[in-house]
Amino acid sequence: MKDEFPYRHRDINWLSFNDRVLQEAADRSNPLYERLKFIAIFSSNLDEHFRVRVSQLRQLKKVKKSIRKKLALRPNKIVKKILSKVHSQQEYLGDLFFGEIVPELESHGIKLLEFDEVSKKYKAEATEYYEKYLKDLVTPKSVEASKSSDILLENQQLYFIVTFDHEDKYGVVNIPSDQHDRFITLKQEDGKHIIAFLDDIIKLNIDKIFPDETVTDSYSVKLSRDAELYLDQELGEDLAEQIYNSLSQRDVGQATRFLYDEAMPKSVRKNIRKSLGLGKIDMVAGGTYHNFNDLFSFPDPTDNPELHDSGFEPIKHKHLENSDKDYFEIISEKDQIVHFPYMSFDYVQRMIDQAAVDEHVREIKISLYRVASESALTSALLKAIDNGKKVTVFVEAKARFDEENNIEWGRKFEAKGARVIYSYPKIKVHSKVMLITREENEKIKRYAYIGTGNFNAQTSKIYCDHGLFTAEKKITKDLSRVFDVLQGDLIIPRAKKLLISPFSTRRTFEHMIRNEMDLVRDGKVGKVTAKMNQLEDPDMVNLLYRASQAGVQIRLIVRGFSCLVPQVEGLSENIEITSIVDTYLEHGRLYIFNNDGDPKMFMGSADWMSRNLDRRIEVLAPIEDPEVFQELEDILAIQLKDNVKARIHTPEEDNPFVEPENGAAKIRSQRAIYDYLKNKHTN
């Protein structure tokens, strides 16, 4: 056994996941607008990576070098590796977009112009559009060269750096994509829809924006800033209020990436660095256009359905749809499982809606991690409050990028009369759970919902998740204890069935893996099968290595990054990992342990990451209902057989696709799961 096991750096391996997203953008079998969507996802992912992960590496640089050395922290080296990898990805993205996507758009009657075409062929249309719609949205500023400046570039916003015929100063002008569509249809011509970048229409009119200067050129730039909120926990102000009042920090936080047009001259870059107080490592060369996440809203003036993914018609759940019985009767009889986006999130919303008007319901408790801006779920909770139900809502105020919306909803619930509990300073509540208390035959009965995804109808349409409805006494009692912890009425929830982080999840998972190792030593089969978003926790990684060496067969689906290196002789040859990237974001977490032929399955909100095991409130439920167990096991089996959209995690991190074996049928798991569920719930 090795003394030190290999452990990948999460922030570098994450880039391998974003490579998989680019593979989908490059896949010609995907509809054209699906490919555009994946380019947008790639860009959005990368922005967040710099704002969150790279910014944390930058913070490590502030730690004394002697301490960093003892802890083997090498943030500069990691950042340089990230920048090198990202540069090659961006070059590939530019070639893909302009070399393949743009010509294919034109073949379908949609011509996306570059600047030279706008200036030579459509100057009149672009100028007219600028004067009519854009003139009042631009704000020019002048900056003295080679001097520090108090000019503020807003986080993630697009700007032009404008050069003049002298080097005493330069101009800065916003590209108002936050106030106007990024892609503008100028006209129809010869059966084609002519579309221009907002950037190029602004650029064409730069001379008018700086009338007192002779403009020589302009270069698109974007500044990303640290997304972390650095709060003073000693203040008397409550945490939610601190977070709400600190959100503006993101607009002025530390720079993490200054993305500039690589055509920008070195002298201009040097001036910009001086003006904005940036370091060399902050400067990242890019293409002519930035913020490709705007492609999420790229127009289709042809309205051609062949260019889009048709999506799924939601499957009607055989027990929860069109039944004469109410949900409480159905769930009392047996556990029920729903799957998104294959089924509608309405099933969750309807249960709350029924609870809101049911005369026997006494209380509703729910944890909200990312609240939808407006939904039937929030309306049902407000209705329950109006109807005199006792409603307790736990709102995670630290859900990154959703803090403002979450806190505002918490205030709405509070104003209506709900008991609202916000985050604790050093722990997040990531569980997706609900508990309804009902009086039946003069006794209290509890009903629970435990999911892998957020209580959000919008994300349920694009995230693949599972949700369990159960009235099983021990599980619902355990969940009641979880809410007691959230309410501050209990410190340790001694659960009999649920896995609850940070109290029992790690211990239980480690015990289950060691049990498989013991079975192998006894000459029996040891097997671990699991699906998660990320695999990062060092202790879990090392335990999986040891289990592999002991002969346990380990089969994992890890959508995102993995710090474990599979298929290493003598170490991890018994570990196989694949990743599925397809139309919908794989988000469910399932864990199955063979357990000497009596398999144990857990489903819930936790990945095998240190934060999920030790620093978050997470809930995973054992799956005990035979029908629900079989349904989830069948779904996981289909995903394990995917040979269309599954990639292999390799030591080289090169993302090869899983290939069909010896003429075997192609299995695209998301389509196959839809067919499986449709057949199961209609027969």
Q: pLDDT tens for residues 163-180?
A: 999 988 999 999 999 999
Given a cut of 70, is residue 3 above it in pLDDT? no
pLDDT in tens, 91-140: 999 999 999 999 999 999 999 999 999 999 999 999 999 999 999 999 99
pLDDT band at 243 (very low <50, low <70, confident <90, very high): low
Q: Select 327-493's CATH number: 3.65.10.10, 1.10.1030.10, 3.30.870.10, 3.40.50.300.
A: 3.30.870.10
Least confident span in 155-159, 216-220, 231-235, 496-500: 231-235
Residue 336 has pLDDT above 70, yes or no: yes
Looking at domain 501-682, does it have CATH number 3.40.50.300?
Answer: no
- The answer to which of 150-154, 554-558, 671-675 has the lowest mean pLDDT is 150-154
Could you read off the pLDDT of 623-674 as tens digits, one per residue?
A: 999 999 999 999 999 999 999 999 999 999 999 999 998 888 999 999 999 9
- The tokens describing 409, both together, are 């909803």
* pLDDT the model gives residue 235: 44
- Which listed residue (193, 290, 319, 430) is catalytic? 430
Residue 255 has phi, psi (to 5 degrees) of: -65, 140
Query: What topology does CATH give the domain 10-301?
Result: polyphosphate kinase like (3.30.1840)
The 10 Å Cβ neighbour count of residue 619 is: 28
Query: Residue 559, annotated ligand binder?
Result: yes
441 is in an annotated binding site: no
Q: Is 45 annotated as a binding residue?
A: yes
Confidence band (pLDDT; 50, 70, 90) for 296? very high
Domain boundaries, the chain: 10-301, 327-493, 501-682
- Tell me: is residue 400 an annotated ligand-binding position: yes
Determine whether the annotation assigns residue 591 to a binding site: no
Q: Per-residue pLDDT tens for 197-214?
A: 999 999 999 999 999 999
Question: In Å, how far from its chain's centre is CA 408?
Answer: 22
Given a cut of 50, whether residue 1 has pLDDT beyond it is: no
pLDDT grade, residue 61 (50/70/90)? low
Per-residue pLDDT reduced to its tens digit, 489-529: 999 999 999 999 999 999 999 999 999 999 999 999 999 99
- What proportion of the chain, given as a percentage, has pLDDT over 90? 77
- DSSP string over 53-100: IIHHHHHHTTS-HHHHHHTT--HHHHHHHHHHHHHHHHHHHHHHIIII
Given a contact cutoff of 8 angstroms between Cβ atoms, the answer to whether 96 and 26 are in contact is: yes
- pLDDT exceeds cutoff 80 at 231: no
Taking 50 as the threshold, does the pLDDT of residue 68 lie above it? no
pLDDT tens profile 250-289? 566 777 899 999 999 999 999 888 888 888 888 999 999 9
Percent of the chain with pLDDT over 70: 93
pTM: 0.92
Q: What is the pLDDT of residue 236?
A: 43
Is-catalytic flag, 430? yes
Nearest to 372 by CA among 421, 414, 406, 423: 406
Residues 6+ apart with CB under 8 A from 138: 173, 174, 176, 202, 209
- Do the domains 327-493 and 501-682 sit in the same CATH topology, yes or no? yes
Per-residue DSSP letter, 608 = B
589 is in an annotated binding site: no
